[in-house]
Amino acid sequence: MFTPKYPTPDTAPVPAPVVPQTPVPAPVVPAAPAPAPVAQAAPVPARPTVQLTPGSALALAAGGGAVVLVVGAVLVSMLLAVAITGLSVAVVAVVLKSLLKDLNKQR
* CB 97, CB 89: distance < 8 Å: no
Q: What was the pLDDT predicted at 42? A: 66
Against a cut of 0.75, is the pTM above it?
no
Q: Which amino acid is at 64?
A: G
Q: What was the pLDDT predicted at 41? A: 65
Q: What was the pLDDT predicted at 107? A: 61
* CB 65, CB 73: distance < 8 Å: no
Q: What was the pLDDT predicted at 39? A: 63
* CB 52, CB 60: distance < 8 Å: yes
Per-residue pLDDT tens digits for 25-69: 777 777 777 676 766 666 666 777 778 888 999 999 999 999 999
In angstroms, the CA 78 to CA 88 distance is: 15
In angstroms, the CA 28 to CA 18 distance is: 30
Q: Domain segments of the chain: what residues?
A: 78-107
